[in-house]
């Protein structure tokens, strides 16, 4: 029979786990109810409890059913403990004390010592349980009888009765026909039985024999009303109201007077009781589970009362952490975008074809005129520093923002000054009749003197313009100054090739090191939050498991299971943007055409990965796309500055400076009328309605910048002045609205 209730083991474990997580006091009503119902769910016996106020004859009725004076009875309240009557081969009593001591005696005389009220009508505080074993056929079927203390006497006794009723499969509520259904009895019926899912209840009226015949008839009518108004959940065809004159029934049973027992109503009640038990006993789950539903509802409510505040606190923490992480991620991506764009421009500038196109002619001339060092310092180095600074500034931004690793300087050195070994000078050096022998300067070159030196400079320009790389290397009519010019050009090509190769290699290494700068470590959450998160998870798991176990026994919950909410992202790890580098490994002695193709392909790949703005071209009037590129660069800086403000730099602490609480924002001060007028005018300048969103403000500003940027009106003084005035107003309006 025990196997039938092993299916409730998981439900019992879930209920007990919930009680433990709720940290209920042992004397609390909910804790006692959980303990009682858990024990009841796994109890294979069918329990019948006799319940009613003191002096209603509960023990007398049970003695009449058992056929002897098994339980103590007297004219004063006697039962001071819940006495469980079980089947045994002989009559004996077992008493368990609170300290674990077991007292076992033959017969029931020992009950007079431990199971009745003391002289102060108090329950025995050292008694944990009282059991009486009796050889009765009804008990042998797996039935237990429970004699409860009388109610409406002491709170301590009432609490014990209320607790024990929850473990009864069938309740016999004994009524006194002389004072039928007092206010206290009606309240107990509602609070102790109905509201707790205990609806297998039988009413038994005692003392009806003490009334006059006319009174008996009136009382019976009232009893019928009470029975009909209470919808007991008993098997069909059985009444929930019986009359038993308990004391005459006990006397008749002790004498063996069958007729007297029948006239007392005992026989009819016993027959109905045995039949009801025979139907309910095989399906005790239908009787016990409604009590579980009532208790489970209280448990779920209590669990939610603990879960929801912690969940709100954890969510608030996670939201703040995710916001910080999102801002940092966006900042890292923006900084990387700016850095990658600057590196792409520098890489493009270092590509040999670009260097040759831009610098070879001037460098060769400077070499021929012995001004190479000045040219290197004032032209090449100046351009390089500008491009290097553009890349370095982004890593400085990253270090200021994330404080991870201080960036190193980007140092691209210059090769040694190119050297030219002159060929043997022919005798006819004054012959300047060949094409390209054009004097382009009045100075004397360091290679050759007089007009021949000037001719060398002119030949450099001529030969480069004719694309010397495509000419026959063994030109038969080549003049001396053309030979010298070619040597200068070749020397500069070698110089720029070495400079390109070294510069690209250094740039690649520098870009790798940038990964350690443009990154951040997500801070470890405080230990208090971790503990609360673990506690929250336990509570949610318990709540969800309880719902699952209730569903197994067909008990539907009014609550939905809690969903698992992911923790804030990237916890305790480093985040860095996806670096996409182009490894530029120069080949040995490549042809110019091949280098141009490789460099162009590399540049296209780089541009695709980071979407850099097109490099500005020298032009008297910038094109709209150049203005757009400037605007994009401004946006990156402006966005990063805004995020710095959000992170409250420099007070913001990085992942290595954890556990910093955000300072409270100062409340917005009321705006004066003058400030309100400025805001209204700013909206008007940008062509927006009042209270437009920041996104709309930004878009309007973008549109007006593209339309009125002064660079668009170079060479048109009047229009440029008008554009400058317009942009002054637009800038002021944008500043006012972005800071309001």
DSSP 670-689: PPPHHHHHHHHHHHHHTT--
Task: State the Cα–Cα distance between residues 622 and 606, nearest whole angstrom.
Answer: 24
Residues of the chain with pLDDT > 90, as a percent, come to 31
Residue 231 above 60 pLDDT? yes
291 with 374, same domain?
no
Q: Which two tokens stand for residue 284?
A: 């005790």
Task: State the Cα–Cα distance between residues 373 and 288, nearest whole angstrom.
Answer: 101
> 457 with 441: CB under 8 angstroms?
yes
Indicate which CATH number applies to the domain containing 226: 3.40.50.300
Residue 399 above 80 pLDDT? yes
Q: Which of 268, 299, 330 is the last residue of a domain?
A: 299
564 or 432, which is more confident: 564
Average pLDDT over residues 490-494: 92
pLDDT of residue 80: 57
Task: State the Cα–Cα distance between residues 207 and 52, nearest whole angstrom.
Answer: 14
Provide the whole-model pTM. Answer: 0.59
675 with 644, same domain?
no
pLDDT of residue 498: 95
| Helix (DSSP H) and strand (DSSP E) numbers for the chain | 23, 11
Q: Describe the crossing of helices 694-708 and 624-646 by its angle, rounded to 10 degrees.
A: 150
Indicate which CATH number applies to the domain containing 720: 1.10.287.110
pLDDT of residue 589: 40
380 or 591, which is more confident: 380
Q: How confident is the model at residue 144 (pLDDT cuts 50, 70, 90)?
A: very high
**Domain total for the chain?**
3
pLDDT of residue 312: 93
Average pLDDT over residues 557-579: 70
Side-chain half-sphere exposure of 708, counting CA atoms within 13 A: 19
Task: State the Cα–Cα distance between residues 567 and 104, nearest whole angstrom.
Answer: 59
Residue with tokens 């709720």: 22
The 10 Å Cβ neighbour count of residue 310 is: 16
413 within domain boundaries? yes
527 within domain boundaries? no
587 within domain boundaries? yes
559 within domain boundaries? no
Range of the domain at 40: 18-299
702 with 652, same domain?
no
| Three-point CA angle 474, 595, 591, nearest 5° | 20
Residue 688 above 50 pLDDT? yes
Q: Lowest-pLDDT range, 554-563, 651-660, 705-714?
A: 651-660
13 within domain boundaries? no
312 within domain boundaries? no
Q: Lowest-pLDDT range, 5-19, 120-134, 452-466, 676-690?
A: 452-466
Give the residue from 282, 170, 174, 291 showing the smallest Cα distance to 233: 170
192 within domain boundaries? yes
39 with 157, same domain?
yes
Q: Which of 251, 269, 299 is the last residue of a domain?
A: 299
pLDDT of residue 625: 56
644 with 680, same domain?
no
Task: State the Cα–Cα distance between residues 278 and 78, nearest whole angstrom.
Answer: 31
Task: State the Cα–Cα distance between residues 224 and 180, nearest whole angstrom.
Answer: 12
Q: How confident is the model at residue 171 (pLDDT cuts 50, 70, 90)?
A: very high
pLDDT of residue 170: 94
Q: In what order do the strands lie in the sheet with 127-134?
A: 102-106, 92-97, 127-134, 83-87, 143-147, 46-51, 170-176, 201-206, 241-243
> 114 with 95: CB under 8 angstroms?
yes
Residue 730 above 50 pLDDT? yes
Residues of the chain with pLDDT > 70, as a percent, come to 75
pLDDT of residue 595: 40
Q: Which of 602, 629, 657 is the last residue of a domain?
A: 657
Q: Lowest-pLDDT range, 44-58, 196-210, 295-309, 574-588?
A: 574-588
249 with 395, same domain?
no
> 43 with 167: CB under 8 angstroms?
yes
3-state SS, one letter per residue, for 41-57: HCCCCEEEEEECECCCC
155 with 223, same domain?
yes
pLDDT of residue 669: 55
Task: Please state, rounded to an integer, the average pLDDT across all residues of the chain.
Answer: 79
Model confidence pLDDT, tens digit, residues 422-479: 777 666 544 444 433 333 333 334 444 444 455 566 667 667 765 544 444 444 456 7
31 with 87, same domain?
yes
Widest CA span of the chain, in angstroms? Answer: 164
> 397 with 636: CB under 8 angstroms?
no
For the chain, first and last CA: distance in Å?
A: 77
476 with 601, same domain?
yes
528 within domain boundaries? no
255 with 190, same domain?
yes
pLDDT of residue 356: 93
Task: State the Cα–Cα distance between residues 22 and 156, nearest whole angstrom.
Answer: 24
707 with 607, same domain?
no
Task: State the Cα–Cα distance between residues 294 and 288, nearest whole angstrom.
Answer: 11
241 with 329, same domain?
no
Average pLDDT over residues 622-635: 56
Average pLDDT over residues 372-376: 94
């Amino acid at each position: 029979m025990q196997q039938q209730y092993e299916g409730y083991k998981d439900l019992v474990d879930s209920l007990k786990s919930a009680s433990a997580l709720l940290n209920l006091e042992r004397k609390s009503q909910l804790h006692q109810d959980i303990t009682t119902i858990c024990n009841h769910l796994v109890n294979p016996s069918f329990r019948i409890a006799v319940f009613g106020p003191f002096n209603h004859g509960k023990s007398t009725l049970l003695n009449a059913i058992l056929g002897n004076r098994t339980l103590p009875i007297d004219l004063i309240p006697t039962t001071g403990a819940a006495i469980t009557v079980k089947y045994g081969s002989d009559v004996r009593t077992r008493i368990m004390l609170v300290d674990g001591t077991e007292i076992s005696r033959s017969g029931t005389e020992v009950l007079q010592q431990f199971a009745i009220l003391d002289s102060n009508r108090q329950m025995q505080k050292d008694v944990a349980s009282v059991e009486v074993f009796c050889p009765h056929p009804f008990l042998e079927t797996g039935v237990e009888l429970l004699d409860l203390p009388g109610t409406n006497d002491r709170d301590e006794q009432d609490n014990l009765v209320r607790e024990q009723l929850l473990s009864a499969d069938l309740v016999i509520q004994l009524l006194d026909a002389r004072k039928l259904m007092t206010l206290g009895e009606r309240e107990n019926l509602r609070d102790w039985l109905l509201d707790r899912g205990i609806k297998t209840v039988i009413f038994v009226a005692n003392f009806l024999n003490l009334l006059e015949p006319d009174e008996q008839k009136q009382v019976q009518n009232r009893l019928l009303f009470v029975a009909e108004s209470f919808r007991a959940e008993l098997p069909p065809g059985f009444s929930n109201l019986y009359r038993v004159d308990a004391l005459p029934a006990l006397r008749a049973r002790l004498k063996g007077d069958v007729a007297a027992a029948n006239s007392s109503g005992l026989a009819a009640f016993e027959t109905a009781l045995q039949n009801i038990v025979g139907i309910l006993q095989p399906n005790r789950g239908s009787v016990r589970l409604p009590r579980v539903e009532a208790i489970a509802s209280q448990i779920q409510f209590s669990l939610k009362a603990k879960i929801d505040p912690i969940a709100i606190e954890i969510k608030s923490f996670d939201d703040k952490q995710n916001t910080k992480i999102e801002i940092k991620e966006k900042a890292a991506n923006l900084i990387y975008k700016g850095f990658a764009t600057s590196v792409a421009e520098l890489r493009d500038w270092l590509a040999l074809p670009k260097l040759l196109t831009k610098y070879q002619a001037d460098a060769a001339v400077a070499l021929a005129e012995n001004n190479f060092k000045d040219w290197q310092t004032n032209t090449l180095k100046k351009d390089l520093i500008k491009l290097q600074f553009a890349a370095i500034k982004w890593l400085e931004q990253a270090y200021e923002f994330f404080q991870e690793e201080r960036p190193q300087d980007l140092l691209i050195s210059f090769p040694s000054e190119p050297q030219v070994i002159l060929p043997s000078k022919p005798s006819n050096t004054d012959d300047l009749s060949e094409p390209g022998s054009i004097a382009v300067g009045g100075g004397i070159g360091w290679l050759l003197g007089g007009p021949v030196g000037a001719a060398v400079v002119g030949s450099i320009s001529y030969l480069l313009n004719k694309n010397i790389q495509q000419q026959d290397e063994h030109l038969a009519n080549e003049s001396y100054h053309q030979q010298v010019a070619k040597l200068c050009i070749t020397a500069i090509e070698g110089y720029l090739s070495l400079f390109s190769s070294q510069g690209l290699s250094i740039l690649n290494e520098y870009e790798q090191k940038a990964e350690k700068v443009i990154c951040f470590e997500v801070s470890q959450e405080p230990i208090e939050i971790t503990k609360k998160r673990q506690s929250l998870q336990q509570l949610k798991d318990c709540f969800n498991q309880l719902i699952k176990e209730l569903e197994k026994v067909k008990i539907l919950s009014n609550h939905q299971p809690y969903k698992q909410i992911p923790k804030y992202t990237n916890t305790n790890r480093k985040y860095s943007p996806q670096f996409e580098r182009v490894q530029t490994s120069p080949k040995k002695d490549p042809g110019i055409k091949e280098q141009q193709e490789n460099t162009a392909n590399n540049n296209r790949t780089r541009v695709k990965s980071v979407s850099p703005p097109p490099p500005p071209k020298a032009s008297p009037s910038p094109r709209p796309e150049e203005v757009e590129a400037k605007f994009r660069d401004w946006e990156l800086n402006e966005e990063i500055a805004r995020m710095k403000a959000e992170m409250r730099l420099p007070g913001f602490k990085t992942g290595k400076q954890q556990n910093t609480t955000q300072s409270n924002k100062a409340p917005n001060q009321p705006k004066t009328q003058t400030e309100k007028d400025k805001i209204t005018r700013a909206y008007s300048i940008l062509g927006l309605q009042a209270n437009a969103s920041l996104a709309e403000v930004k878009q309007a500003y973008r549109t007006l910048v593209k339309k009125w940027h002064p660079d668009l009106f170079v060479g048109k003084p009047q229009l440029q002045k008008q554009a400058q005035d317009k942009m002054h107003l637009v800038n002021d309006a944008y500043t006012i609205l972005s800071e309001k």
